[in-house]
Amino acid sequence: MTRASAADERLPISVGMADERREAIKRTAGRALAAGLTVAALTAVVALLTGSFDDTEIRVILTSIGFAVASATASAGAAQRFGPTAALRALGTATAALSGVTFALLALGLWTNDWGTEGIWRAFGCAGVLAVAGAHACLVLGARRSTDGEGIRLLVLVSVGLAILDTVGALLPISGLTGAGDLAQVFAATLVLLVLTSVLPPILRRTQRPSTTAPQSHIQRFAGEVEAAADRIDELNRGPSHRAPEIRREVERLRDLARSFQA
CA dihedral of 24, 25, 28, 32, whole degrees rounded to 10: -170
107 found inside a domain:
yes
Segments forming the whole domain that contains residue 103 = 13-142
Instruction: Give backbone dihedrals phi and psi of 13, rounded to 5 degrees, phi first.
Output: -85, 125
**HEC states along 93-148?**
HHHHHHHHHHHHHHHHHHHCHHHCCHHHHHHHHHHHHHHHHHHHHHHHHHCCCCCC
62, 121: one domain: yes
Any domain includes 7: no
pLDDT score of 220: 63
State pTM to two decimals. 0.67
Q: Are residues 74 and 193 in the same domain?
A: no
- Cα 255 to the center of its chain, rounded Å: 32
* 8 domain residue, yes or no: no
**pLDDT on residue 4:** 40
List per-residue pLDDT tens for the chain, 263 residues long. Answer: 444 444 344 334 444 555 566 677 767 777 877 888 888 888 888 877 887 777 888 889 999 999 989 998 999 898 888 777 888 889 999 999 999 999 999 999 999 878 888 999 999 999 999 999 999 999 999 888 888 888 999 999 999 999 999 999 889 888 877 766 667 788 888 999 999 999 999 898 888 765 544 444 566 666 667 777 777 776 766 666 666 677 777 777 776 666 665 55
pLDDT of residue 5: 42
| Residues 41 and 136 reside in one and the same domain | yes
